[in-house]
C-alpha cells in the first residue's frame, strides 16, 4: 500500500450484528476471498464499488451505512 485508505467501515460490527457471521462466511457470500475481507475490514485498502455494494447488500443496509468517507479533504 503506497497509499492507505481514508474510507472507514463498520463491517466488523455488522458481522456480529448479523448472527456472528465469520469473515469466511461473509467472504463467501460477497464472492471474494477471506483475505480480501480481512484487508477491507482492517482498512488496508478500500474495496471496489462492486464489492462494496455486495457487502452492503448482504447486510441489507445502504452503502453509506457500511462505509464512511471522512469529511473535509
Summarize as ranges the residues that interact with DNA (CB under 7 A): 1-3, 5, 15, 22-24, 31-36, 38-42, 45-48, 50-51
23 touching a copy of itself, by CB under 8 A: no
Which residues, numbered 44-73, are part of the site for a copy of itself (CB under 8 A)?
46-50, 52-54, 57, 62-64, 67, 69
Nearest CA-CA partner of 11 in 50, 61, 49 = 61
Q: Which three cell numbers stand for residue 3?
A: 497509499
Nearer to a copy of itself, 23 or 46 (CB): 46
Judging by beta carbons within 10 Å of its beta carbon (0-12, 13-18, 19+), is residue 53 exposed, middle or buried? Answer: middle
Amino acid at each position: 500500500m503506497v497509499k492507505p485508505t481514508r474510507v472507514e467501515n463498520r463491517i466488523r460490527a455488522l458481522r456480529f450484528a448479523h448472527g456472528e457471521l465469520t469473515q469466511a462466511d461473509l467472504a463467501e457470500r460477497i464472492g471474494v476471498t477471506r483475505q480480501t475481507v480481512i484487508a477491507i475490514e482492517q482498512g488496508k485498502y478500500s474495496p471496489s464499488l462492486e464489492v462494496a455494494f455486495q457487502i452492503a447488500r448482504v447486510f441489507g443496509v445502504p452503502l453509506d451505512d457500511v462505509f464512511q468517507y471522512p469529511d473535509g479533504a
